[in-house]
């Protein structure tokens, strides 16, 4: 049994809540984000996904849930855990799983996704590959990713731009790789989350629809002025 297998079993058919806030948002405060993860736990989340080693460490200390950690560094190209250095900092902070961009785009330090996977596994943690296409998901699985997420579909050139979850990608990945597929991206309702599981997802990540009061308030405010 690999280290990821017990976690995969615990996450099967369950909800993962992404507790993040963009730069400049009033919610982007470590204590606030940790409290958000506690609320997610109390609401029934099986795991949380958080950004930045500081927030990962604080969450691990406070919340009895598996933590999927990532480190967003930059705002273009490969910026979700872009290097091995970023990945190992997340492991050191206590992340059970390191989420990293696994698209076909070049990494800023010239490294490969496979090298990141090898380093994280050697440090005792698992890897979630954030992909945008079927080909990227297949490649990530072949390179040893423990989970493959549809996180970047619609955000990378060559992937379909849409307002709804990319359930077609979920179905295609689930039918072609043995690695657990995690549906993530634009899942806005419980019905869409259930549809993702029905499409073959192992687990579902929901973020904005649960943990982004600024964005949700803006949505309602703009709706009143349309």
pLDDT digits (tens, 9 = 90+) for 119-155: 999 999 999 999 999 999 999 999 999 999 999 999 9
Mean pLDDT of 72-101: 97
For residues 17 and 203, give the distance between their C-alpha atoms in angstroms, rounded to a whole number. 11
Query: What's the pLDDT score for residue 90?
Result: 98
pLDDT, one tens digit per residue, over 194-216 is: 999 999 999 999 999 999 999 99
For residues 119 and 143, give the distance between their C-alpha atoms in angstroms, rounded to a whole number. 12
pLDDT, one tens digit per residue, over 3-48 is: 789 999 999 999 999 999 999 999 999 999 999 999 999 999 999 9
For residues 90 and 114, give the distance between their C-alpha atoms in angstroms, rounded to a whole number. 17
């Amino acid at each position: 049994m690999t280290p990821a297998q017990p976690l995969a079993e615990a996450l099967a058919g369950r909800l993962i809540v992404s507790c993040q806030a963009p730069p400049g948002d009033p919610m982007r405060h470590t204590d606030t984000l940790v409290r958000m993860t506690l609320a997610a736990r109390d609401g029934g989340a099986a795991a949380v996904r958080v950004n930045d080693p500081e927030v990962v460490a604080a969450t691990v200390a406070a919340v009895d849930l598996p933590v999927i950690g990532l480190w967003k560094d930059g705002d273009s190209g490969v910026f979700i855990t872009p290097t091995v250095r970023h990945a190992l900092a997340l492991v050191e902070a206590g992340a059970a799983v390191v989420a990293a961009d696994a698209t076909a785009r070049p990494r800023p330090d010239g490294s490969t996704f496979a090298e990141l996977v090898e380093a994280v596994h050697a440090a005792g943690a698992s890897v979630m590959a954030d992909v945008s296409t079927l080909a990227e998901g297949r490649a990530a699985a072949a390179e040893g990713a423990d989970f493959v997420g549809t996180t970047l579909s619609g955000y990378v050139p060559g992937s379909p731009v849409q307002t709804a979850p990319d359930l077609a990608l979920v179905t295609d990945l689930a039918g072609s790789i043995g690695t657990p597929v995690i549906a993530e991206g634009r899942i806005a309702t419980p019905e869409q989350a259930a549809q993702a599981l029905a499409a073959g997802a192992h687990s579902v990540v929901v973020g904005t629809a649960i943990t982004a009061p600024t964005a949700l308030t803006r949505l309602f405010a703009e709706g009143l002025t349309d």
